[in-house]
Amino acid sequence: MLFLSQLINGLQLGSIYALVALGYNMVYGIVKLLNFAHGDIIMVGAYIALFSLNYNHHPVVAALLTVGGCTLLAIVIEKTAYSPLRLAPRLSLLITAIGVSILLQNLAQFFFEARGRAFPADRLLPTGTVSIGDATVSYTSLLTIGISVASMIVLTFIVNKTKLGKAMRAVSEDTGAAQLMGVNVNVVITFTFAVGAALAGVGALMYGVRFPLITPTIGAMLGLKAFVAAVFGGIGSIPGAMIGGFMIGLLEVLVIHMGYSGWADGVVFMLLIIVLLVRPTGIMGRNLMEKV
Amino acid sequence: MQKSNVLECVGLGIDFGGLTAVNDFNIEIGTTDIYGLIGPNGAGKTTVFNLLTKVYKPTRGSVFVNGVDTKNLNTVKANKLGLARTFQNIRLFQNMTVQENVMVGLHNEIGYNLASAIFRLPSYWRAEKKAKERVCDLLSIFGMQDMIEHKAGSLPYGSQRRLEIVRALATSPKILLLDEPAAGMNPAETDELMKNIQLINEKFKIAVLLIEHDMKLVMGICEKLAVLNYGMLIAKGTPAEIQSNPAVIEAYLGA
Amino acid sequence: MQKKFVIPVPVRYAINTVLIAFFLIAANSMIQGGGLGRAQTAIIIQIGYFIILAVSLNIITGYLGQLPLGHAGFMAVGAYAAAIFWRYHFLPDTANIIAGLIIAGVVAGLFGLLIGIPALRFKGDYLAIITLGFGEIIRVLIVNLDWLTNGARGLQMPRSVRYSSFLVVYICVILTCIFIHVIMKSRHGRAILSIRDNEIAAESCGVNTVYYKVAAFVISAFLAGIAGALYAGNFAVLIPSEFDFMMSINILMIVVLGGLGSMFGSVVAAAVLTYLPFLLVPLAEYRMIIFSLMLILMMIFKPSGLMGSYDFSLSRILEKIINFVISKKGGKNDAKV
């Protein structure tokens, strides 16, 4: 059945967007920064996975290296580029994030060359298909969806049950008050970037499996669409990011399936604009108001 | 409705997500009154200002300025109708000069169109020259006319508060809303400010509604007072009446 | 205290007009006479339209205080509008150039209106992302509207409509700078600046913030459209992928490095950033790495940019010199007495 296989296809793509969207979501919730470099962290992660798998590392080792590498990179970026600007105007921070994004892309281009490199997906996840009714679905699709959902459950647990997670929520509600209550804001911010990047690392692996051609610029469009997913679902909401991601993935697959692949990116951005105009806080978001 | 009231509120109220911040707020302010709005911290005084100037949309009730219902107006139109205000947390145009700050206040009075600006038509030069003279006139109330070239953000705190009043005055209001104008001023500065508020009231023949914690200032210059507690008006009257009102004393002493 | 000497307005205007005319005629005759090589001339023309792009983006980023990331979209609209019009050759050359530039500006301005109205409901990051989205949509439209734009293959520009000569480009540059200057030094400019500094205060001063935000968007888009037309008139083929997100970022870099809110800074930075890669050919490979690092370091250590909000004014410098001389003389006279 075509419908089912396309549905799974869309959910696979959507779960990648959802993983990336979560990173945007968490960082935005804490420091109110659209972290433009987030997509490029995924690009770096994809290269780490690629080289590590080509080096014949065990898939688990490669995965751990990828997630660890992304986390480390995000912490370095946060400490060197973002934290000196904590009290600066938002515009400066946003421009810095754009600068970091361009820097990562061009460093990657310098070291890894602009040409595309094949991602050895078959060494990471088992190949093969499974039949559900009339439809054939690949293992990788199901595994991607499964791993994403599992990651989100773990994240929900971290945010809701652990001490750091509670501190995160407190900082995103009111940074000043959280600080007065003895929360170490700097630690929380770094932790948030780290968790977001770890999810990005997982996303990088899933991206490599789905689109096995890695170039230095893959992060840009992926990051943008994931941000659209985050906005769509509602900034600051974990289930929102998940729903947003799945919706964007399904929409894109639908548009491509209808034969308008050239329009897919345009449709995603059109959706973003419509959502922002109709419901600026997204599906699950909360209203924010400036105090006068 | 009486014609002589510049501002009239009837049953004004607002809820924030189920929480009633201000309820059943009624007030009538005559064209040249100096009216004080007092109350403990968090009583909703600034919220009242935000309701009057349409920064917030009221949930209930109406506001009349010179008998005109402001129901469908936004902040800009409320200003054009004659409401000008200052802010508790100073909101100057920090990176602009003192002169430019006041000239933004004169924005609608200057009034030439885009074409006269682009082609530098005589109407541009005339209006700019007149506006600069007006700026000096207005600043001279507070003796600030020598500061026109200073950046507003670099002024001392007291001068920033005074500049905000001048900027509000520049919009030719019928009623001036002052949100804690004396906050952070020393007693000498406060005395000076008191005189200046009275001067403005007489010279421009406009009403003043002020929120203030400094009781000396409030009792000294206000002809009438309204007391707000937990978003409700608990008393209205002359300073003497308010001072002896048991409900007010209870609100302030928390008995 | 001595009264300061102020150069009267008509004199100031006369000095500036003479200087501008002198610069245009001198530089043009130098280029026409072969004083500059083909490559040098090409760079100077490139600098020209980047100046217009930067000063027009500066209206929104520097003066209005918002960060749109779709400036390349407006540029693309202008480029295609002018290119398509020019190719028909309805009019004799000079009229064709002027009409094409105006059409480019107006069409881009209409897009600015279309985008400005929804975008002004948002601030900061949301505005950035929504304008970025619009920019991408414009590019997707250009690629897919094959019948009009010849799609991804690119639109051929015959030699007869490659209008972007030094004189055409720099007349546009100068008119643009004057246009922005006269608007910013008026009640309309002050209204835009007041929104940047404090929107709520601006509203309570009676400034119609909605109107001015849209106006700033439209003016910025209009000028970007003209720059796009000049860009189109400079190449043999117009390719949609040139107008991507990176183009918007390049323009943003110029504005940020020059100093948010400084037109003079934008002009200098446009020249420096466009010329630098040619000057340092061995470093060309590292160009974007260096630029992005500069952007980050600039934000951390000198967020006001190279020029801060300083704007060059010849008459102000002249006034300073004259006043200095007067005060020297005055001082001597005082000493005698």
Give me the average pLDDT of each 10-residue run along chain C (337 residues): 73 90 91 85 94 97 92 97 93 94 97 86 82 92 92 91 93 96 96 95 95 95 98 94 91 90 92 84 80 89 78 81 81 49
pLDDT on residue A292: 53
Q: Do C201 and B92 touch (CB under 8 A)?
A: yes
**Would you say the C-alpha torsion C183, C185, C190, C196 has a positive or negative sign?**
positive
Residue A6 pLDDT more than 60? yes
pLDDT on residue B133: 95
pLDDT on residue A228: 87
Residue C226 falls in which region: left (phi positive, over 0), alpha (psi -120 to 50) or beta:
alpha
Residue A237 counted as domain residue = no
Q: Do B104 and C309 touch (CB under 8 A)?
A: no
For residue A240, name the pLDDT band (cuts at 50, 70, 90): confident
B160 close to B90: Cβ distance less than 8 angstroms: yes
Q: Do C300 and A263 touch (CB under 8 A)?
A: no
- Mark the ranges of chain B whose per-residue pLDDT is less than 50: 1-2, 255
Q: Where are the alpha helices (DSSP H) in chain C?
A: 9-32, 38-58, 71-88, 93-119, 124-144, 146-149, 166-184, 187-197, 199-204, 209-232, 245-258, 263-279, 287-301, 314-336
- What is the DSSP track for B54-121? TSS--SEEEEEETTEE-TT--HHHHHHHTEEE--SS----TTSBHHHHHHHHTHHHH---HHHHHTT-
Residue A159 counted as domain residue = yes
User: A226 is written with which tokens?
Assistant: 């994931």
Q: How far is A11 from chain C (nearest CA, A)?
A: 23
pLDDT on residue A285: 67
Residue A57 pLDDT more than 90? no
pLDDT on residue A169: 87
d(CA A76, CA A160): 26
pLDDT on residue B137: 94
Nearest to B124 among C186, C196, C206 (CB): C186
User: C304 is written with which tokens?
Assistant: 């006001």
Which residues lie closer than 8 Å to A288 by C-beta, 6 or more apart? A281
Chain A, nearest residue to C252 by Cα: A95
Nearest to C197 among B96, B110, B131 (CB): B96
For chain B, percent of residues with pLDDT exceeding 70:
98
Q: What b/e readout covers B61-90, taking b as 16+ CB neighbours within 10 angstroms? A: bebbbeeeebeebbbbebbebbbbbbbeeb
Find the domain containing A205 and state its range.
Answer: 16-219
Q: What is the pTM of this model?
A: 0.91
Q: Where are the alpha helices (DSSP H) in A113-184?
A: 121-124, 139-161, 163-173, 175-180
Where in chain C are the domains? 39-306
**Chain C touched by A288 (CB under 8 Å):** no
User: C276 is written with which tokens?
Assistant: 């630098």
Report which DSSP code applies to C285: G
Structural domains counted in chain A = 1
Residue A130 counted as domain residue = yes
Residue A207 pLDDT more than 90? yes
Task: Assign domain B5-253 to a CATH class.
Answer: alpha beta
d(CA C298, CA A92): 9
Residue A3 counted as domain residue = no
- Judging contacts by C-beta atoms under 8 Å, the chain C residues touching residue A99 are 292-293, 295-296, 299
**Chain C touched by B47 (CB under 8 Å):** no
Q: Which pairs count as long-range contacts for B133-142, CB under 8 Å and 24+ apart, including other chains?
A: B134/B102, B134/B106, B134/B109, B134/B170, B135/B99, B135/B102, B135/B103, B135/B106, B135/B170, B138/B102, B138/B166, B138/B169, B138/B170, B139/B98, B139/B102, B139/B166, B141/B166, B141/B169, B141/B196, B141/B199, B141/B200, B141/B203, B142/B166, B142/B196
ipTM (interface predicted TM): 0.93
pLDDT on residue C336: 43
- What is the DSSP track for C146-175? HHHH-GGG-EE--GGG----HHHHHHHHHH
Helix, strand, or coil here: B144? coil
For residue A285, which amino acid is it? G
pLDDT on residue B93: 96
pLDDT on residue A290: 52
Chain B, nearest residue to A290 by Cα: B55
- C-beta neighbour count of A60 within 10 angstroms: 9
Nearest to C140 among A88, A100, A263 (CB): A263
Residue A252 counted as domain residue = no
Q: Do C206 and B100 touch (CB under 8 A)?
A: no
pLDDT on residue B2: 46
For chain A, percent of residues with pLDDT exceeding 70:
97
Helix, strand, or coil here: B169? helix
pLDDT on residue C329: 75
- Interface contacts A/B by beta carbons within 8 Å: 5
Sort A79 into a burial class: Cβ within 10 Å, 0-12 / 13-18 / 19+: middle
SS3 per-residue string spanning C3-29: CCCCCCHHHHHHHHHHHHHHHHHHHHH
Decide yes or no: CATH 1.20.58 for domain C39-306. no
- C-beta neighbour count of B129 within 10 angstroms: 10
pLDDT on residue C49: 95
Q: Percent helix, strand and coil across chain A, each rounded to 5? A: 75, 5, 20
User: A192 is written with which tokens?
Assistant: 């948030």
